[in-house]
Amino acid sequence: MDKRLLNVSLLGLAFMFVFTAFQTMGNIEKTILKSIQNDYPSFTGDGYTSLSIIYVVFALCNWISPSVISYAGSRIAMFIGACCYTMFLVSFLWPATYLLYLMSAIVGFGASVIWTGQGTYLTLNSDSSTMSRNSGVFWALLQMSMFLGNTFVFFALYDKTHLDEKTRTLVFTVLTAVCFLGTLLFLLLRSPVSSEGAENELGETLNPIQEIKNSMSLFLTEDMCLLNMSFFFTGLHLSFYSGVYSSSIGFTTALGPNSKQLVGLSGILIGVGEIIGGFLFSILGKKTSDNNIESKGFSHSAVVALGFFVNIIAYGLIFINLPDDSPFGDTSAISLIEPNQYLAILCSFLLGFGDSCFNTQIYNVIGQRYSENSAPAMALFKFMQSIAAAVSFFYCNHFGMYVQLTLLVITLIMGTFSFFKVDKSIDNRYKEF
């Protein structure tokens, strides 16, 4: 096997295990913390608040994460980040409000270095002819986590109307063990290699202040300002499908007595959508030749346009299927139609597929447009994405489903057209060469 593809595959496998644990926990956190509050009224931790803290710290630490990558290298930085995720999951075995929020802040730091390291490592193992393939392979392996973790949750919560302490302990223990295994896999990553087969690890060490100045300069460029709108949309969409939508299904009692079990099934279908999208676009995505003139496959803009229509359909169906107060807690209200289980689960698949359309193409564009400056570019992507996610998780406790969907549609439109403009400018640059 190609050494570079092997590196990317091992990277995806390590992320798959870590995020099998974390994304599954994010998907059920609101629901499971509600059950802890029912058993222990002194516990006041809130799932949306925890996720908001994670993404606020994540956003702020993205300004220093390029310096961590510069000093430690992408592989060590990702291992440090994975350790933070493991610590976060361990804390659920001893539920305490202060510990929940403290570990949320720690995992926010870990997220900034693991994702900036991932973007750097992926870019160093890719070139213009393999970026589409590599980003698709990584994305598909990563999103296997949604399928695996939520399959476990589906069976662990089978026929459960209340998540008792024994069930919670089982879920926390299994997810922690899986995350620890993924953390160990980061130690097996090899140095990235160039297309000629030479080691390609970043070796330049810059002053942290200079790194922040470089990131700020990049942040203010025309293309990055446009991409920021796309980044912002992916953050709102991420928070909606990973923390709000599945919990809202579980809270909608009109879906039937097994609505809590549907939380896991929703996560599975989100993962299936992500996986199919990742593999599909790795095969059919745009591949640029070495001289950057000829290309084949679907363009980046075509895939994002597909994602636009898929997401619009998903948001519309959710609007008519789930009641407005479903994000807040158990509700017996109905929406514009009688809530339907099958429609709810179909929307889960559409949310996952639509997300893969945007994220795979954003990785491609960053890898092509900022191949010489990948660490700051990836950090800025995650900065805007996590800012949006933090804002979303904050307003989730205040805005109903209909307002949240309206905000998603507005940012989807803006993010899509911003992406089109940047992609066109990249194509024009290639034609000049």
pLDDT at 284: 64
Instruction: Classify 59 as helix, strand or coil.
Output: helix
| Mean pLDDT of the 7-16 span | 92
d(CA 22, CA 205): 31
Six-digit token string for 172: 């926390």
Q: Which CATH fold topology does 1-198 show?
A: Growth Hormone; Chain: A; (1.20.1250)
Whole-prediction pTM value? 0.76
Reply yes or no on whether the pLDDT at 433 is more than 50: no
pLDDT at 294: 46
| Confidence tier at 288 by pLDDT (50, 70, 90) | very low
d(CA 207, CA 96): 39
Contact 182, 20 (CB under 8 A): yes
Six-digit token string for 114: 């693991």
Q: Using alpha carbons only, how large is the chain's radius of gyration in Å?
A: 21
CATH H superfamily, domain 207-287+295-428? MFS general substrate transporter like domains (1.20.1250.20)
> For residue 95, is it left (φ>0), alpha (ψ between -120 and 50) or beta?
beta
Is 367 exposed, middle or buried (CB count within 10 Å of its CB: 0-12, 13-18, 19+)?
A: buried
pLDDT, tens only, 298-344:
678 888 999 999 999 999 999 999 999 888 877 888 888 888 999 99
Backbone angles phi, psi at 22, to 5 degrees: -70, -45
Reply yes or no on whether the pLDDT at 351 is more than 90: yes
Backbone angles phi, psi at 357, to 5 degrees: -60, -45
Six-digit token string for 92: 């659920």
Which stretches of 322-373 are DSSP H helices? 341-369
Q: Which secondary-structure segment (H or E) carries 201?
A: none
d(CA 157, CA 264): 8
pLDDT, tens only, 219-237:
888 888 899 999 999 999 9
pLDDT at 81: 94
pLDDT, tens only, 182-204:
999 999 988 887 666 666 665 55
| Residue 420 CA neighbour count, 13 Å, CB half | 11
Contact 193, 199 (CB under 8 A): yes
The per-residue DSSP string of 5-44 comes to: HHHHHHHHHHHHHHHHHHHHHHHHHHHHHHHHHHH-TT--
pLDDT at 1: 59
Computed from CA positions of residues 358, 363, 367, 372, in that sequence, does the dihedral angle turn out positive or negative?
A: positive
pLDDT at 293: 43
d(CA 275, CA 263): 19
d(CA 327, CA 221): 37
Contact 408, 397 (CB under 8 A): no
More confident residue, 18 or 165: 18
* CATH 1.20.1250.20 in the chain, residue ranges: 1-198, 207-287+295-428
| Mean pLDDT of the 51-66 span | 86
| Residue 144 CA neighbour count, 13 Å, CB half | 15
pLDDT, tens only, 299-311:
788 889 999 999 9
Distances (CA, A) of 427 to 74, 132, 226, 283, 424: 29, 15, 16, 20, 5
CA nearest to 267, candidates 282, 279, 252, 249: 249
| Residue 163 CA neighbour count, 13 Å, CB half | 27
* Total residues belonging to the chain: 433
The per-residue DSSP string of 268-308 comes to: HHHHHHHHHHHHHHHHHB-EE-TTSS-EESB-HHHHHHHHH
Contacts 24+ apart (CB under 8 A), 296-302: 297/132, 299/423, 299/427, 300/361, 300/364, 300/365, 300/419, 300/423, 301/419, 301/420, 301/423, 301/424
Contact 261, 268 (CB under 8 A): no
Six-digit token string for 385: 């994405």
Six-digit token string for 319: 């609007």
